[in-house]
Structure 1
């Protein structure tokens, strides 16, 4: 088996660490409340200096790729129904916070040509249109793909080839609590990044998986560690003290200030 290229091999990871990732554009930053995953929210983050934007993708019934977290429109829009069962002509009329349209992933690639996108594939039907959009916009070097499905990750890697940067899937994340025995699995993983929560519930227990030991082990394997979703300044400092490479946050103002305080301003 050929060795997995380290994160530094991929342009997506070329920036100095630690990096800040704007979760859905920064959905609890006051100007963005109620506007998650909208062009307006991402514009706020980019205007603040963020280069790394986290989003999610679903496919409509007619194969259009939208940047949207939920399976259904109901929670954050005035529309109703499952995205996978609706044509784009209907999804496009829904409004987030009464004003913002659900964006196509094409729109985000076009609106923010300097941004790097961390994209969570939320449904199997989104894999093929995502691969097509990435190729259409020549965006392979500025995306990292993740998913809560190992099969979706495998499909994305197969579709886009070895130049695609990806994060670890759920099976790898679940085994991290078994360190050091999990190291052999992490070594075989094709992922360049471990994008993980601080804790991970497994049955009746909720072990802490982001530890100094884990971060050091990941770095020895050439992998980055990004932690989600962190909104508290003290917790951000604690994680950065452990050596994590990135923090995903809804409170993009808080994360900006913490990074600046530690000598890593966004600009």
Structure 2
């Protein structure tokens, strides 16, 4: 891994441009391609297990239907994840524990997005922090979410955790908002970099910036020129070549 990159490369849901998103195979490929980190999404199953999947339902990425939070771990493990990305094969939904077991063997960053903005999962924050602490991986983790109440709870549970706000379109000075909350970073979409004064506001607030999802060469270049600490991309190998 090239340690000297000013803009780090984080694999979005793993190397999801090449393998089904949020699968062990996608994360393993991100490691092989030399990414500096990975980004993943966490929900909670009906029996309280931490599940790595993006949507609130399994419909888009598996051969099943229904809410993640209404299915047991056993039921979720029986589903086949979509194989739209090559190569063909059988892919399964991983647990957070499985992904952490893999990532602890590396020095890569792990960005966990807490997916509790629509479906609320009581105790999720405590469970995630416990899992990470048991693995002694605290230094490798940063937590992001559109649910800023959840990020504040993470800070209340452990003041040392690194956090980053996700936000939607049209916010005025989200960097100042994040700083007032004691958040460490902003996680803007690529197009947010074109908002008036956004880059300057982030710099003035002294926050880190991790930008998603930059796949096109011109977008990756824009993230690099903005001085972001990380670019989050489906194609880590392409981003590495450009940054």
TM-score grouping bracket, smaller chain normalisation: 0.7 to 0.9
Q: Contact 1:172–1:189 (CA<8 Å) still a contact in 2?
A: no
Q: Aligned Cα RMSD in Å?
A: 2.4
Match 2:68 to one of 64, 83, 87: 83
| 1:173-184 alignment runs, 5 A limit | 174-176=171-173, 184=176
Instruction: Report whether the alignment pairs 1:72 with 2:57.
Output: yes
> Residues 58-100 of structure 1: CA distance to partner in whole angstroms, max 9, x if unpaired?
0001110011101111211122221101111111111213611
Query: For residue 235 of structure 1, what is the aligned residue in structure 2?
Result: 219
Alignment of 1:133-212 (within 5 A): 133-159=131-157, 161-170=158-167, 174-176=171-173, 184-199=176-191, 208-209=194-195
Structure 1 residues 80 and 223: alpha-carbon distance in aligned structure 2, compared to 1, 3 A threshold: same
**1:224 corresponds to:** 208
Task: Specify the SS of the correspondent of 2:215.
Answer: coil
Is contact 1:150-1:170 (8 Å) kept?
no
Kindly indicate whether the alpha-carbon contact (under 8 Å) linking 1:172 and 1:185 is maintained by their aligned counterparts in 2.
no
Conserved in 1, the CA contact under 8 Å of 2:175 and 2:186? no
User: Unaligned stretches of 5+ in structure 2?
Assistant: 84-88
Q: Which runs of 5+ in 1 are unaligned?
A: 1-13, 177-181, 201-206, 260-267
Moved more, 112-121 or 216-225: 216-225
The answer to whether the Cα contact below 8 Å between 2:43 and 2:53 also exists between their aligned partners in 1 is: yes
Tell me: CA distance 1:72–1:16, structure 2 relative to 1, closer, same or farther (3 Å). Answer: same
Tell me how many residue pairs correspond in the alignment: 228
CA 1:103–1:192 in structure 2 vs 1: closer, same or farther (change >3 Å)?
A: same
Structure 1 length-normalised TM? 0.77
CA separation of 1:107 and 1:224: change in aligned 2, threshold 3 A: same
TM superposition shift of 1:173: 8.1
**1:55 offset after TM fit, Å?**
0.3
**Residue of structure 1 aligned with 2:9, choices 10, 20, 34:** 20
State the alpha-carbon separation in 1 of the partners of residues 136 and 170 from structure 2.
30
Partner of 2:26: 41
Query: How far did residue 215 of structure 1 move?
Result: 2.7
Contact 1:195 1:226 in 2 (8 A): yes
Q: Is the 8 A contact 2:175 2:207 kept in 1?
A: no
Residue in 2 that maps onto 1:117: 110
- Corresponding position of 1:10: none
State yes or no: 1:101 paired with 2:97. Answer: no
2-structure distance, mates of 1:225, 1:78 = 36
